[in-house]
Structure 1
Amino acid sequence: MKGLLLFILFSTLAPSVFGQSALEDRIFDENIKSLELFPQDNRLGYPVLFLDNPNALVLAFDELNRDFQQYVYTFQLCNANWIPTDLSPNEYLDGFTEAYIENYQFSKNTKVPYIHYSLTFPNRDIQFRISGNYILKVFPENQANKPIFMKRFYVTNPLCSIFGNILAPSNPALQKTSQEISFKVDISNLNSRFPSREITTQIQQNGRYDNQINQLQALSISDNILDFNLQKNNIFTAGNTFRFFDFSSLAYNSEYIYSINRNEQIDKIELLLAKERANKPYKNEVSLLGKFYIESKTYDNSDLEAEYAYVRFLLARAEPYLDADLYLLGGFDLWGLKHKLEYDFTNKVYSTSILLKQGFYSYQFALKEKNQNFVDVASIEGSHFQTPNSYVIRIYFRAPGTTYDQLVGWQEIVNYTNQVNEQI
């Protein structure tokens, strides 16, 4: 163990790094690829820990480099809206406040060389004392003010019971295109005297943050049961099944792949020309829900032997969108709209190329008006009530006299069975 305890360094640099603005998933170093954070027993699961259950999360990422770099990791507790709390690390962490990432391996016989780093936590170096929203920050040794990435995850102490369903909205105009999340929350174990002030409720769709519903208020409170049924604020645009492609093998063109160009330096893949799906009938397909899964069918160890390749995405369009940019939306870019497509007036297509590691990927096209925050997926992909989706309900409690939000309820609600497992 190469534990690292730098209390003075952390205390000095944390304010300048984190500040008091909301933190988010971000990659600062363009050589960092295939960033994943998942439960140890489910690579496609949400990054959540339970204080009453000895589960663990796994961090995995690649650095496109031939030379090893010593990296350090630490954690920052945030409130329900991802603003860093004023608690010191010793108040929410046990053990060290920082530690080295000790597990790393070099890629084997790949055209693009990389180093694969991994970390499992909590571990012998760092454990969590309280529940809440956490940021995992990774940075080079002795450079805490220069993180290479930050990643959000959750630690929950499930004091609340959540019971919910996905329903068609009561509004007839929305019943074919939207989904209503109807639920109740039992807060008997919280001893909350003023639930409307002390409890914060959020709903998230498929891991996206851009369309998350925040600050929900219960319709009624009776016998420690918060009722969130039949509310117009609980409604999401259902969207459509995520597009999908599989290049776990480079020996043949799988579904939705038009061509694979193998060469000595780097492989290039072109996807089939995609078309808009708005105003078209719903097609029942298995969905990865925007997630990705690293795998090479050629080799045994995908983490070290999977190849990187440039993947070209294309969308047919007779003319460019007015006053809006077109992006790819999916977990492979942390849902961050990092990849904008450019319009080709000659060929009448939008396109972009991205360096990706072999595996299974799902994504959608999204429009974002210039200088606006709203992300519009339905205008391109369509929206249908039947669409498979995953919703996570989170309940936060700020106890009287405290300055941080405990995560006391976490529940996933889905309207499908085995969607992800069937596709991979």
Structure 2
Amino acid sequence: MITGKFTDFITGTHHKKVPKQAIDQAKLCFLDFLGVTLRGSKTRSSIAINNIVKEDSESTIIGHKKANILDSALANGIAAHCLDLDDGHRFAQMHPGACVIPAALSTCEASNKNGKEFINSIIAGYEVAISLGILVNPEHRNKGFHSTGTCGTFGATAAACYALNLDKKETLNALGLAGTQAAGLLESDHSGSMGKHLHAGKAAHTGVLSALLAKKGFTGASSIIDGKEGFISAMVNGDIKNKKLEIGNFHIQDVYFKKYPVCRHLHSTIDAAFCILNKNSIETDDIQKIIVKTYKIAANHDNYDPKTKEAIRQSLPVSLAIAVRNGNLSLDDLKTDDEIAKISSKIVTECDENLDESYPYKRSSNVIIQTEDHSYSECVDLPKGEPENQFTLNELMEKFIELNPEISADILEIINNLENYNMKELMIALDNEFKMTK
């Protein structure tokens, strides 16, 4: 029973048993989450949800106010995911941080847990979300489900269960409740809607709700994942009987961080294009054609006429055109005009069977830029930010400050000493550091 294995891991997680590398990575994930969420709190989707939820004193909605434990998890999940800059895991094919950390943060702050317990709740949540994502993908994704919303719900529940000190029976019930609420369809993502943001927010909200209900005696199906009519049977397309659940490997150590505010499947292409442009003096007007040979999922992100900013984030040709024209791809660059349309019309995306065969072990993209006199090419197998091509701490801080230039870099000292805070003190310290709430 998979929920039983998850339960054993969640209730058996103790700080002394967790590898130092996993603890250090959890701190980096929290640092990245804070920077992305604080900037995300200024977006339309974040403002919309904060116009709905009511003010309360339980836990912090980053960039806005305090609210109750459920609403803060919901709002922070939306803000964390709306920029497409949150962390992810390529084998689980999901973004765990935007689901897990809001659930851990709201529950730990409301119950005034210490920093060690907060870190442990994050690690437990990442482990459950990622291990389930690895087990069910790519079959789950191929059926049209967004793993961030579905598998992320289990991860958020794990984090909340740990933070609220649920026992084994209660944790088992909470996971059962999580599974019957897990949701998220890729149609929301690829149509360029804000529904994608809601997937992470609802996962975090559902995780907290499931833990709170279970703590009050509300029961859930212990067979919700691998039962006859459970998660795998209903939501996974294909036979995964030969796949083994990888739980207890501390998968948080394998997450990636993002450089560009677009879908991760576009990042290898952007990196390859910048490699060419940085090595060679190529004028935009001299470009006659750009050929992108990549794996199938990336090649399918081929919308040449995105109507929304969310749709631009999912468009390989338009995101690439922006990068080529601007020499950058930041939040402020996500705009289209006639010149971008002209450049994107010169871009051809192709599925390369050899590159597709190496997915998901690699996310390769071979970019060829043709001018009248030359043909330049570059292949990138793994984009910047993967465990094999990591961000340095300085690079993560540069990302943080670029997103939030008005704040002090002293936040690093707070993150480094996370274990020495209780969570109410921590949120006050963070709020004082960069005015996290209005």
Normalising to structure 2: TM-score of the pair? 0.30
Higher RCO, Cα 8 Å, sep 6+: 2
Point out the structure with max Rg over C-alpha: 1
Structure with the larger strand share: 1
Q: Could you say which structure has the higher helix fraction?
A: 2
